[in-house]
Homo-oligomer: A and B are copies of this chain.
């Protein structure tokens, strides 16, 4: 995602208006590597701008996605997450705490799908699933404490 200043210019050049709500969201998302949900972003925004609406957060995120300034991440577990990182990267998910981390991955160019000659491939996404060190430790201490999640909430991802 571009800087708030660059986005301001981009918005104007597209006939979009530069509202305080949008500017705040630009700031909150720029360089944000937390992969927040709309709700999480709304909470942050509300702290600085009481009264801002969740609807506006969703709307702005959708705009930014349309403009190619960020992408959606859907890896199970309910809410869509937003990623302003436009570099070529992939994701690692901790199946325990749900955190998502950006990672650069070597070797993606060598991936060869077999038997899909009738598809024109445009993009490849790789998702690693594992357990982060923090969760690994808490597991050692009290394995029972691991929050049970209903099947549909688990970060089961396509293999």
Contact = CB atoms under 8 A, between A and B. Distances in A.
Residue of A92, A101, A119, A159 with most chain B CB atoms under a 10 A cut-off: A159
Q: How many copies does the complex hold?
A: 2
Interface stretch (A4-12, A15-23, A41-49, A127-135): A127-135
Contact of A125 (B115, B122, B158): B158
A140 interface: no
Nearest to A65: B151
Contacts of A114: 103-106
A111 B113 contact: no
Given A158-B91, A159-B90, A122 B130 contact: yes
A141 to B, nearest CB: 16
